Amino acid sequence: MSVAHQLGLAELRAGLDSGSFSAEELARHFLERIAADRLNAFIDVRPELTLAQARAADARLAAKDRTPLLGIPLAHKDIFVTRGWRSTAGSRMLSDYVSPFDATVVTRLEAAGAVCLGKTNCDEFAMGSSTENSYFGPVLNPWDKAAIPGGSSGGSAAAVAAALAPIATGTDTGGSVRQPAAMCGITGIKPTYGRVSRYGMIAFASSLDQGGAFGRSARDCAQLLGAMTGFDERDSTSLERAPEDFAAVLDAPVSGSQPLRGLRIGIPAEFFGPGLAADVRAPIEAALGALEALGAECVPVSLPKTELAIPAYYVIAPAEASSNLSRFDGVRYGHRAADYGDLTDMYQRTRAEGFGAEVKRRILIGTYVLSHGYYDAYYLQAQKLRRLIAEDFRAAFGKVDIIAGPVSPTVAWNIGERTDDPVQNYLADIFTLPASLAGLPGISLPVGFGALGRPVGLQLIGNYFAEARLLEVAHRFQQGSDWHLRRPGE
């Protein structure tokens, strides 16, 4: 068991099925690693609940049940409400909240036999790009503890990178799966909007929030994502689409040394401008060369509205956040101020105490752009820009199969470096926001290292429902490289 944390899902599956180790032994191994963690990756760990799930998985294994995730440990971003564990969204407002029900994602993964190790740290209400905005303190990057892990799903990404969990869930509103995956040197995928149920996902921006998957490899992400997706009648944005076995696509036989022959990869000029750091550009271009060696053809394309993604997103997302977070008023659940005069004073004191600076900033922006006299000037115009951004992608996908480029303009920056300049954090999302605004799937895979040995990720964006294609391309790349196998400290 001493090296179990170094194994991928295929090896863990083989070990569980053969009886080399039990689900309970595997869970205990990861719980020991989490107990020794110094990254602040987890908010809530409850070994008694984890081990109860592991014993249930062992009973299913003894009955010859064989499903891909049965007995596999995982971690949940603390945006998914989880019965028995605290569900805090990284906020003081919900710091002691224990949900009476499970999110659909949690329910599906528990039914698949996965064993929950705990809840991972995140930016408060998923608002941030660095996981510095958590009430529970920042998460450290396992490659360099002076650096951020990316955000808002930084706890999940750091946990997988540091082998505290083999797989983890995350959420992506403007890049919050892809960006931390890139900065932590692992693989992360955001599916098409509506693929993963938002029921029980604590809302930030409802038209953008989407659950995603983290793993060491594309294969591991395929297994996890396959169990997460599917129609949910309790979510009005859930898409009615037949389930897909994403992992099965990766096992399809290929002949010759160029399994990607015929694949056309679009390279947007707007993703490779002067704002892209040289130490990020070099690994990205090397990865594109490797994809060409596998038979793919790189084709220049244009996404001319890319620069408009930041202003559009930072109008739409705060507007939706201001509406979604109005429910946290101290009346029904969550934090309530201890001292107040009347009901209005209770509301004001509770929200002033319960929300952090970044959440307050976005609530104020959102309330402003939705107010009388400004709705047409800001929110309505941002929605029009969103449609134009989606049209850019539609035109590009008329020429190419997928689009490739960097995830972030730079490698991970130091903790505290941009705390006083939130706009710099917002600008870091320039390459991930367009796909989010269009509702498109995207994947980040590790392709090298930049300054100070900090990881660099390649982003692949697909057309709607092209998750299988993205996973296949990432998998073929990873079959010929070892970036996804490298671990911090090795």
Q: Which residues are catalytic?
A: 77, 152, 176
Label residue 439 left, alpha or beta by phi (over 0 means left) and psi (-120 to 50 means alpha): left
Q: Residue 457 in 3-state DSSP?
A: strand
Cα–Cα distances (Å) from 96 to 44, 75, 110, 223, in that order, read 10, 19, 23, 32
Nearest CA to 239 out of 214, 204, 210 is that of 210
Burial pattern 34-63, b for ≥16 Cβ within 10 A else e, equals beebebbbbbbbbbebbbebbebbbeebee
| Chain centroid to CA 480 | 25
Rounded-to-5 percentages of helix, strand, coil across the chain: 40, 15, 45
**Residue count of the chain:** 490
List the structure tokens of 168: 């983890």
Nearest CA to 225 out of 442, 416, 425, 459 is that of 442
User: Long-range contacts: 377-386, Cβ < 8 Å, 24+?
Assistant: 378/315, 379/315, 379/316, 379/319, 381/315, 382/311, 382/312, 382/313, 382/315, 382/316, 382/319, 383/316, 385/305, 385/308, 385/311, 385/312, 386/312, 386/316, 386/437, 386/438
Nearest CA to 118 out of 9, 40, 174 is that of 40
Instruction: Note whether 306 and 430 are within 8 A (CB).
Output: yes
Q: Residue 250 in 3-state DSSP?
A: helix
Measured between alpha carbons, how far is 118 from 240 in angstroms, rounded to an integer?
30
Measured between alpha carbons, how far is 469 from 18 in angstroms, rounded to an integer?
32
Count CA atoms within 13 Å of residue 37 on its CB side.
30
